[in-house]
Amino acid sequence: MTETNVLARQTNDLDAFWLPFTPNRAFKRAPRLISRAKDMHYFTPDGRAVLDGLAGLWCSNAGHNRDPIVAAIQRQAAELDFSPAFQFAHPKAFALASRIAALAPGDLNRVFFCNSGSEACDTALKIALAYHHVRGEGSRTRLIGRERGYHGVGFGGISVGGMVNNRKFFGTLLAGVDHLPATYSREHQAFTKGEPEWGAHLADELERIVALHDASTIAAVIVEPMAGSTGVLPPPKGYLQRLRAICDKYGILLIFDEVITGFGRLGHAFAAERYGVTPDLICFAKGVTSGAVPMGGVIARESLYDAFMRGPEHVIELFHGYTYSAHPLACAAGLAALDLYRDEDLFERAKKLEPVMADAAMTLKGLPGVLDVRTVGVAAGIDLASRPGAVGLRAYEAMERAFHDEDLVIRVGGETIAIAPPLIVSEAQIAEIFEKLARVIRAVN
Ligand SMILES: Cc1ncc(COP(=O)(O)O)c(C=O)c1O
């Protein structure tokens, strides 16, 4: 081989990159490559426009490569590339925290920054534990998650999370964790638009857990108001309210993981607002920068923050943080994204699109192999029947076909397809997504 050929082979080599949450061998046999994006579309290296049915990974809520966000990042990169958030700070960190606090419900107005949803969840769990500790209730160490929950991939997140493949390979996880049951029942909820009628009573399982462990050992409960990654599972009507009431009764903190539901997915800044339930801590990430720069964070109630503000003033109150907490590029992107959400009224737009999404998604009912369709906000989950002995293969093929044959990006997990386009999606594009998907589902039957 000539030297040029060796170089060409190395630069085009697919071997080195170990892709996350991807079957690497199957991917490298038929790669799905994306090299550019604008608004609702990706573009492949050979110039094919591919419709984004999942807002990136539930994050590009304002669409891709929006000019104001691009310009804000470019300006920021030229002005201040980095400044530490430990003992120092830059002005945009305060500006963004204030903007996020203004969007959050109730007295949730103290914002701790990190860089991802996983870090946000681990941060929230640590704040909950430390909160009880500083108040002299250090016996409250138990964390309660939920089956089918997804709280990222840190050890805290997978411990309270409830997805077996994310847990089983990784040892003993955190000690002292218990789980509520999942809220999904196909028998009682199949083909529901919005929040199902059945299932509020499942929140009462928290009473059973309290009876088993005693409230004095329990620090916090963490749930996604709508579980996105495990297949778009909206909360049963009244479920979150009951969870809040039981947490209040026993002094247990309630954490909403709004990494997917934050910033408009359910027609509000946060799902907490849609459901009229105020948690003690909210985890956010993804949509805060419309996916343009990694960022996550936790919003805490003022009283919770105040509990830490004691002791000598020169001593750090919370021994936690990341080198890239409140990174200047992320803050600039976040401010520009929040401006876009406001100026284009995208949360309200999501609310108006909800029935359009729901009707379009339900057109899949009755197609071969479709076991359930669920919708809420600008999101839909579609369960397919597995082929005998090959769980997940049908959905995987659906994703491949969608990309290669229909120019559509969808997300699959197990045998579930998730659809959650950017909130700028037009009604015609919603119809296009589900027409393409119907053809794909027929083709993989
Ligand atoms: C509810 C929820 N929490 C946490 C995470 C983890 O976020 P990240 O991948 O940014 O770490 C996700 C990612 O999809 C999520 O959906």
SS (H, E, C) the chain: CCHHHHHHHHHCCCCCCCCCCCCHHHHHHCCCCCCEEEECEEECCCCCEEEECCHHHHCCCCCECCHHHHHHHHHHHHHCCCCCCCCCCCHHHHHHHHHHHHHCCCCEEEEEEECCHHHHHHHHHHHHHHHHHHCCCCCCCEEEEECCCCCCCCHHHHHHCCCHHHHCCCCCCCCCEEEECCCCCHHHHCCCECCCCCCHHHHHHHHHHHHHHCHHHEEEEEECCCECCCCCECCCCCHHHHHHHHHHHHCCEEEEECCCCCCCCCCCCCHHHHHCCCCCEEEECHHHHCCCCCCEEEEEEHHHHHHHCCCCCCCCCCCCCCCCCCCHHHHHHHHHHHHHHHHCCHHHHHHHHHHHHHHHHHCCCCCCCEEEEEECCCCEEEEECCECCECCHHHHHHHHHHHHHHCEECEEECCEEEECCCCCCCHHHHHHHHHHHHHHHHHCC
Residue 282 has pLDDT above 90, yes or no: yes
Residue found by looking up tokens 């076909």 in the block: 401
Pocket test residue of 19, 59, 113, 121 for ligand 1, highest count of atoms within 8 A of CB: 121
Q: Which of 60, 260, 281 to mutate to test the pocket of ligand 1 (most atoms within 8 A of CB)?
A: 260
pLDDT at 3: 58
User: What mean pLDDT, rounded, does the chain reach?
Assistant: 97
> What is the C-alpha separation between 187 and 181, in angstroms, rounded?
16
What does the pLDDT read at residue 11?
Answer: 58
Please give the model's pTM, rounded to 2 decimal places: 0.97
pLDDT tens for residues 30-56?
999 999 999 999 999 999 999 999 999
- Ligand 1 pocket: which residues have CB below 6 Å? 58, 116-118, 121, 150-152, 224, 228-229, 257, 259-260, 285
Ligand 1: distance of its center to the CA of 152 in Å?
A: 5
In ligand 1, the atom with minimum distance to the C-alpha of 257 is 1
Instruction: Please answer whether residues 341 and 347 qualify as being in contact, where contact means their C-beta atoms are separated by less than 8 angstroms.
Output: yes
Q: How far is the CA of 118 from the centre of ligand 1 (A)?
A: 6
Distance 279 CA to ligand 1 centre (A): 18
232 Cα: distance to centroid of ligand 1 (angstroms): 13
CA 304–ligand 1 middle distance (angstroms): 24
Atom of ligand 1 nearest to the CA of 261: 1
pLDDT of res. 406:
98
What's the whole-number mean pLDDT along residues 335-352? 98
d(CA 256, CA 298): 10
- In this prediction, residue 9 has a pLDDT band, given cuts at 50, 70 and 90, of low
pLDDT at 212: 98
The rounded Å distance from CA 121 to ligand 1 centre is 8
* The pLDDT of residue 7: 55
